[in-house]
Chains A and B, each alone.
Chain A
């Protein structure tokens, strides 16, 4: 009975995502039309006259009324066509598909890094309030948010590449000496492993480490803070007192009873942090010459490349919906109370 209602809940949640996708399509379309700058002018070049601009506008379909443009846009979308980039002439979909895995790989590794550091830090800080570890947690989180990523990125490059020579040159996803592995997932590390090419794997990891740490240091703060706060609240609750009064070992009390409950708000934070990271790591991508989706978006924006911007916003929004969906489903799995109240 309980299981059936759970799966029904997940199904209903999936259905709820559909209208938000439709809404996103409408809003991204309108937003990109509202962008300042005329793509036709940009595309025609500085020497163009009124006539050629009008011609280009007509060929792009920009002279039609808004609703007609929208119908064309949706029709193209249904065929998987996000339009062509004005500046590179490549289909937007292809470009996004080739750049998205780079950003995803970086973001996921950064997230794993920051969870690995922030969760234990938050738990330890909460179990020993005002101890040195709590102070450390405070310093790390404050530093993490207050140091801009381009600074930490450059600093890490300076120390580990320039001074110590431990890290490879911050030049993209893979040293030119290596060939990218056959694309399966688009993640170089996983593809290299799938191809059985350990050398490429290590090379890819080497390139990933510094940008991932840079990004991870920034996202550490919200996760550590949330963990600490949620842990303090969980450890102060009455069932922890019952567990202690029953003589349960400290590990069990802190981890199973405390963290088990504290992890619920942390999971929600993770979803937000992940979506945020994905779109906003432009600076890190720039510093490490990372061919990700963030730098792509900035270039498109500067060039008034509306098809590319539209494609980017749409991709991010859909990712956002997917991540939130995943978080909600995970939440439903770990919290038995979800479903009864909802």
Chain B
């Protein structure tokens, strides 16, 4: 598939029929088949695709940064009329950083952890003779200023671990742009950052690119980000370019089924759960099952959290364990001082909430807002400083978290964790992972009884029983997520706490898992607490949403109402920061055909 630009003179980077393969233990794997794309001067193009699509490999090949096992087997890479495939390593080194720069996902680990950020920027300036030892510091500080880091003179001396993720990404951008490159390749630059930080970083990138007339390749899995910032989009699947075109037309007139599937799976403000599924799925565009359980207002709540506080000592503070109680009382008296270093920091600050049986509650906020701490206290994995968690009228906080595994309430409250890979024991097969709680807590004994129960659970979560003998590394992300869910529902919990269960998954997998969760809830009558930073995803699964900030609840109410008419300015800023992905309906995916929910 070739996509020629109308005006070839403007093409800065021209990649033609690129073929890349990797040597692996199982033989040679072709990572890119005939990939072609081009970038004009000052243009911003997006390369989108899910994991394994080869979108990053293409850019590594351009910069000659493929690892040892990888090799470029065919095709041309031309940059400003220069053949990059024929370039020697020393020439490539001159090009990297000065002509073509790259920034990466996960800014925290993209910087040398034991070198001051200022020195890292200087290294680049000096490597490309853009500065001498005399003026390098001045130039580095100017770069920090350019990426809008406050007090650049002070920040020059800091180490990466002393900065937030967003700050680190700004430093990485400063480093990449220090030598005024013509082309910037940004590989998932905002994945893992909060939505508001994502917006700030992307806006900064776009402003700088515009000011310098710099071409940009944005590699992302997020169609929302791509559509919000790119002129043109290249869609990749399994090492091939399946479709490419102007942003406006590509999303509304997507021809390739993969593009259509991606568009469908990307949640937007108005989507309903079933609309996310691939058109090939028989459940697609049907109505998601409703809860069977009535949420009657007069029934006592399933869960009542009252005035919950969790404080941590602040580094440099005076608080030892013995002082904790007294200091908490002190902090209580003077609200707002907690963050200012009064010795204690309230990760959860006097939070009260109710959850009715069968209800699904979303807990939303940015990293550090206390949502994960709160959910861990409710799941009784950590202890609260003060306050109570009542479950069906019983105070769960009466049992310390360290003993809660033996509590009769342990089966009733279960959790699904964020990273499906990290949360499974790598030495357990899927069967063992699911059987573990059955054996330890439910006391299911005997091979046959255990086997039958595990089979039943795996059938419930749609995990083929042939996969039960596999270890986590032999399963895909979606399959691992199913194992995690099966393990959590093994004990027939009445409350399931879902901590960002889909944030590590590809959008199409996320669509399937979210639907699975909705089906399970309807079938088993569980209540959910769904913790997420992503409001559009929360809305799909939740009746009610609580927005948290700095340990406090800033707003709560019906999910749709909050998303459509936020009353708190913080909630509004969160919603505004979500890239607006709204391809016009009536195109490939007949969204209008979906029945109103």
A and B interact: yes
Q: Which residues of A are interface residues toward B (Cβ below 8 A)?
A: 5, 129, 237-239, 241-250, 252, 256-257, 260-261, 264, 334-337, 340
Q: Judge whether B114 and A247 touch: CB under 8 Å.
A: no
Other A-B pairs, 19, CB within 8 Å; known A248-B93, A260-B114, A340-B161: A239-B110, A239-B111, A241-B65, A241-B104, A242-B103, A242-B104, A244-B65, A245-B63, A245-B102, A245-B176, A247-B93, A247-B179, A248-B123, A256-B123, A257-B112, A261-B113, A334-B114, A335-B114, A336-B114
Give the nearest-CB partner of A248 in chain B. B127
B-chain residues with CB within 8 Å of residue A261 when the two chains form the complex: 112-114
Q: What is the size, in residues, of chain B's interface with A at 8 Å between Cβ atoms?
A: 34
CB distance from B551 to the nearest CB of A (A): 22
A-chain residues with CB within 8 Å of residue B101 when the two chains form the complex: 245-246
Give the nearest-CB partner of A336 in chain B. B159
How distant is the Cα of A239 from the Cα of B103 in the complex, in angstroms? 11
Q: Does any Cβ of A come within 8 Å of B172's Cβ? A: yes
Given contacts A241-B104, A336-B114, A340-B315, whether A249 and B93 have CB atoms under 8 Å apart is yes
How distant is the Cα of A166 from the Cα of B162 in the complex, in angstroms? 56
B-chain residues with CB within 8 Å of residue A241 when the two chains form the complex: 65, 104, 110
Given contacts A238-B109, A261-B113, whether A246 and B161 have CB atoms under 8 Å apart is no
Q: Does any Cβ of A come within 8 Å of B94's Cβ? A: yes
Q: Does any Cβ of A come within 8 Å of B115's Cβ? A: yes
How distant is the Cα of A239 from the Cα of B101 in the complex, in angstroms? 14
Q: Judge whether B315 and A247 touch: CB under 8 Å.
A: no
CB distance from B198 to the nearest CB of A (A): 19
Give the nearest-CB partner of A258 in chain B. B112
How distant is the Cα of A239 from the Cα of B104 in the complex, in angstroms? 9
How distant is the Cα of A260 from the Cα of B316 in the complex, in angstroms? 29
A-chain residues with CB within 8 Å of residue B472 when the two chains form the complex: none
CB distance from A131 to the nearest CB of B (A): 11
Q: Judge whether B123 and A337 touch: CB under 8 Å.
A: no
How distant is the Cα of A245 from the Cα of B181 in the complex, in angstroms? 12
Q: Judge whether B112 and A252 touch: CB under 8 Å.
A: no
Give the nearest-CB partner of A242 in chain B. B110
Q: Which residues of B are interface residues toward A (Cβ below 8 A)?
A: 63, 65, 68, 93-98, 101-104, 106, 109-115, 123-124, 127-128, 159, 161-162, 172, 175-176, 179, 315-316
Give the nearest-CB partner of A261 in chain B. B114
A-chain residues with CB within 8 Å of residue B127 when the two chains form the complex: 246-249, 252
How distant is the Cα of A99 from the Cα of B207 in the complex, in angstroms? 71
A-chain residues with CB within 8 Å of residue B161 when the two chains form the complex: 336-337, 340
Q: Judge whether A239 and B109 touch: CB under 8 Å.
A: yes
B-chain residues with CB within 8 Å of residue A129 when the two chains form the complex: 68
Give the nearest-CB partner of B176 in chain A. A246
B-chain residues with CB within 8 Å of residue A257 when the two chains form the complex: 112, 115
How distant is the Cα of A213 from the Cα of B124 in the complex, in angstroms? 41
Give the nearest-CB partner of B102 in chain A. A245
CB distance from A255 to the nearest CB of B (A): 12
How distant is the Cα of A75 from the Cα of B551 in the complex, in angstroms? 58
Given contacts A246-B97, A252-B123, A340-B161, whether A260 and B112 have CB atoms under 8 Å apart is yes
A-chain residues with CB within 8 Å of residue B65 when the two chains form the complex: 241, 244-245
How distant is the Cα of A242 from the Cα of B121 in the complex, in angstroms? 11
CB distance from B586 to the nearest CB of A (A): 42
How distant is the Cα of A261 from the Cα of B112 in the complex, in angstroms? 8
CB distance from A174 to the nearest CB of B (A): 44
Give the nearest-CB partner of B108 in chain A. A238
A-chain residues with CB within 8 Å of residue B112 when the two chains form the complex: 239, 243, 257, 260-261
Q: Judge whether A247 and B124 touch: CB under 8 Å.
A: yes
A-chain residues with CB within 8 Å of residue B97 when the two chains form the complex: 245-248
